[in-house]
Amino acid sequence: MYEIDGKPACLLITENMARVQADGERHFYPSFVKALEPGFTATDWDYGTDYPAAQAAVAEFNAEHGVNKDAALLIVTSSMFPAAPIKIADIFRANGEEFKTDPESSIAKPA
């Protein structure tokens, strides 16, 4: 599981995550999302003008960093709706990982 600041995280791209370049073309820039934390952190990674290609690049990044589609969906949902009944343990389980609770932290860690 990819983590930022001890929280499960993933890369996300939407059609709104674009910037218009000097040539007038929209370029897509993904953002990082952390579980249970509202908002996102924009990157300066230019994923080009083709939205489906940008989506594929984000999916590839997440897969290479150990985050499957189900876990990414829970990470994004918990960020958008912090009151949703999603626990860190649910995200690890969706990612096919066993987890244990660190007694010194509220964050679940892989077993």
Q: What tens digit of pLDDT does each residue of 23-71 get?
A: 899 999 999 999 999 999 999 999 999 999 999 999 999 999 999 999 9
Q: Which residues are within 8 A (CB) of 37 and not within 5 positions of it... i.e. 6 or more apart?
A: 7, 79, 82
**9 DSSP assignment:** E
Q: Which domain holds residue 96?
A: 3-110
Domain count of the chain? 1
What number is the average pLDDT over the span 71-83?
93
Indicate the SS3 state at residue 89: helix
Beta strands in the chain (DSSP E): 3-4, 7-12, 18-20, 26-28, 31-34, 41-42, 99-101, 108-110
- The pTM of the full predicted model, rounded to 2 decimals, is 0.83
The tokens describing 78, both together, are: 């918990």
